[in-house]
Structure 1
Amino acid sequence: MGTDAWSAALVAERLLQAEDRATAQTSIKAEWESLDLATAYAAQDIALGIRVARGEKVTGVKLGVTSKAKQRQVGVDAPSTAWLTDRMILPIGETVPRDRLIHARAEPEIAFVMGRRLEGPGISAATALAAVDHVVGAIEIIDSRFSGYKFSMMDAVADNNSSGRYVTGPISRRPEDLDLALEACLLEVDGEIVDSATGAAVHGHPAEALAFAANTLAERGHAMEAGWVVLTGGMTDAVPVEPGARIAAHFTNLGTITVAGGR
């Protein structure tokens, strides 16, 4: 496709089509070198409008690339934000619908449930945390629409930060009752502990990630609403969700969340 034919709207359409059909495609950045972060976010917002128009409800926000290690890996110095909708909710006990995903991977996260509206700019971590009603553990099932899981940062942002499904745990805590930087998680796959991390891996502190999201969204005219879920970013590397696999995230104070891979 010629570069003149590309637009944010076309990027949004292509990626939603790939998601709906569970069919991978090549990197858009590789085809359209002019794709930048501003255009990628515009595509993300256009796609959200399409999702809402077809009946999806916005349920929150997700952050990506919140760890310094991952930022160095992809060549950026800040996280990215994306959208959650009710289509992405995986109820507790349901298997991961691998047949509707391309290459599902799971990562444990600390999630906030907002108690009131949070709108930037100028939001500090303390201000952000004061807007939180409660904290829960979560497992996010990420699913890039790009072949071989190979993509640029611009591709990932346009692709809604590789959104797939997410499940939140049944145990909640008030934020003031936790040391979120030290809240630990063990990631288990089929009975074996494969990784571990604390909340400090998430942009230094999950509340810092929340403040970043509020301020970044404000630049595009958005705010976070009461009741929304905010996934603050993967604490560990993501692991593949294989057929029949059992993946569990064991948090210090937020309980255990388990998902299983469908056949």
Structure 2
Amino acid sequence: MNEEKIRQYGDELYECFVARKTVPPLLEREPDITLDDAYRIQLRFIERRVQAGERIVGKKIGVTSKPVQDFLGVFRPDFGQLTSGMVYQEGDIIDLGTLIQPKAEAELAFVLKHDLKGPGVTAMDVIRATDYVVPCFEIVDSRINDWKIRIQDTVADNASCGVYVLGKTKGDPRKLDITLAGMVLEKNGEVHSTGVGAAVQGSPANAVAWLANTLGELGIPFKAGEVILSGSQSALVPVVDGDELVCTVGGLGSCRVKFSGRSAVSAPARPPEGGALPPPGRMSRSDRRVVQ
């Protein structure tokens, strides 16, 4: 794919991000698109976000667990860039009006204390380079119509990044068994799904090592202070106004997140107890925040 088309599709995805709209799958329009093309489109998309004032603050691994692979029909991991405009902390309420067709997934985030560059990085190297881990939620979002994606589509769309929220409880991965630690995801007070670290490429640390080596071959290092999202340990959870999610990791702690507003492509709102659905309100047009 020539540079003109790379810029065209990267700009298109950025404009969809700003306007909160979707487009047909790239693979439908460009049947010969390669993964290399898709990553170049991703870089253009991210370049536009950085030009608008955001910073790169980390990386994410996507499509690592079987439930997510089955849902999306994508059967290999991918990766994307995390920017300062995606960051939430536990206790914040996520405004769905800033998103398009969001779904939440629970996972483990690694915060690095040392740089790490592949190839040749092992899971033990990841543990040594990690300052701490925290439970977190990634709220994935897609600029592709109806989530009709294949690997090229999600890669170009920055691995379907939306926003993420980090829990407050920090754990030492040298003292916590992140492979066998169970995770329970609750939605509105009821258990929605359970998982375990081993569901993510055998261990979340393996997934992070895979990404360090994949990026290392491209000359891209992990940097001290960066956040690395290691991949979902839960099924994808659609969210609407009023929903509250809690994920709890055994031996570590929990992360809680609430949602308000309506996304651009809204699922039906959760009805109040004993009542009918309220009439739809005006869709929020809240500006995206940039955390400096």
TM-score by length of 1: 0.94
| Runs (5+) with no aligned partner, structure 2 | 262-292
CA–CA distance in 2 between the matches of 1:76 and 1:95? 30
The yes-or-no answer on 1:110 pairing with 2:121 is: no
Q: CA deviation at 1:6?
A: 6.5
Q: Deviations over 1:212-239 (max 9, x none)?
A: 0101111222111000000001101110
- Distance in 2, matches of 1:241 and 1:200, equals 26
Q: CA deviation at 1:251?
A: 1.6
Q: Measure, in 1, the Cα distance between the counterparts of 2:122 and 2:153.
A: 29
Residue 135 of structure 2 contacts residue 167 of structure 2 at CA under 8 Å; is this kept in 1? Answer: yes
In the alignment, what sits opposite 1:246?
244
Following superposition, the deviation at residue 254 of structure 1 comes to 2.5
In structure 1, what is the Cα distance between the partners aligned to 2:102 and 2:208?
25
Which residue number in structure 1 is paired with residue 275 of structure 2? Answer: none
Cα deviation for residue 259 of structure 1 reads 1.2
Residue 91 of structure 1 deviates from its aligned partner by 2.7
Change (3 A) 1:170 1:4: closer
CA drift of 1:77 comes to 5.2
Q: Partner letter of residue 172 of structure 1?
A: K
- Give TM-score scaled by structure 2 length: 0.85
Counterparts of 2:148 and 2:100 in 1: how far apart (Å)?
13
Structure 1 stretches of at least 4 aligned residues deviating more than 6 Å after TM superposition: 3-6
Q: 1:243 and 1:236 mapped to 2: Cα distance?
A: 21
Q: 1:45 offset after TM fit, Å? A: 1.5
SS at match of 1:60: strand
Map of 2:27 onto structure 1? 29
Shift of 1:134: 0.8
* SS at structure 2 position matched to 1:93: coil
SS of 1:19 mapped into structure 2: helix
Change (3 A) 1:189 1:68: closer
Letter in 1 for 2:12: R
Helix, strand or coil: the match of 1:63? strand
Cα distance in 1, alignment partners of residues 153 and 173 from structure 2: 34
Give the aligned residue type for 1:212. W
Name the CA distance, whole Å, in 2 between partners of 1:173 and 1:219. Answer: 30
Q: Deviations over 1:102-122 (max 9, x none)?
A: 111111011100111000111
| Residue in structure 1 matching 2:89, options 88, 91, 114 | 91
RMSD: 1.8
In structure 1, runs of 5+ residues without a counterpart are none
Q: Offset of 1:32 from its aligned partner?
A: 0.9
**Residue matched to 1:153:** 151
Query: Contact between 2:103 and 2:237, CA under 8 Å: does it hold in 1?
Result: yes
User: Would the alpha carbon gap of residues 76 and 262 (structure 1) be closer, same or farther in structure 2, given more than 3 Å must change?
Assistant: closer
